[in-house]
């Protein structure tokens, strides 16, 4: 039989997970509606934008985004497609097995527009009174 303290930890964890999922769902919906981007696609554009040369190996992106090799390859393929043109794939000169993808100018522009939406949604979520109360209550319990 679990103690009340152990059950409270589980309840706190579930509350944190519910808050996160609620925000993720809002972000996913707004990015899809306004920019035709999934949250994972947004993360790929963002992670690439944070590097000095706007380029990463697919394997690095796979780990950062948390997708399988085939899933990241499909996602990058969609962002490279002529209809989007946000990424460009290239082979590493030093290691011919290494495949890189880099952010294009179009991709940077798409990311900048999506960042505005992303920040607006986060601002909206975190300014909701009930979310602030729930987070404060959780912090006091932890």
How many angstroms separate the CA atoms of 106 and 124, rounded? 27
pLDDT at 128 over 70: yes
Residues 62-105: tens digit of each pLDDT: 999 999 999 999 999 999 987 789 999 888 766 666 789 999 99
Domains and CATH numbers, the chain: 4-141 (1.10.10.10)
The pLDDT assigned to 96 comes to 62
Q: Of the given ranges (10-19, 53-62, 104-113), which has the lowest mean pLDDT?
A: 10-19
At CB < 8 A and 24+ separation, what contacts does 10-16 make? 12/138, 12/141, 12/142, 15/134, 15/138, 16/138
């Amino acid at each position: 039989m679990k103690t009340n303290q152990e059950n409270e930890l589980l309840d706190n964890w579930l509350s944190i997970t519910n808050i996160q999922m609620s925000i993720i769902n809002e972000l996913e919906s707004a990015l899809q509606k306004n920019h035709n981007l999934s949250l994972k696609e947004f993360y790929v554009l963002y992670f690439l934008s944070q590097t000095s040369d706007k380029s990463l190996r697919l394997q690095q992106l796979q780990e950062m985004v948390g997708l399988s090799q085939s899933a990241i390859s499909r996602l990058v393929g969609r962002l490279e497609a002529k209809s989007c043109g946000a990424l460009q794939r290239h082979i590493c000169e030093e290691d011919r097995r290494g495949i890189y993808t880099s952010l294009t100018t179009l991709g940077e522009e798409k990311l900048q527009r999506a960042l505005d939406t992303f920040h607006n949604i986060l601002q909206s979520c975190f300014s909701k009174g009930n979310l602030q109360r729930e987070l404060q209550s959780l912090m006091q319990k932890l």
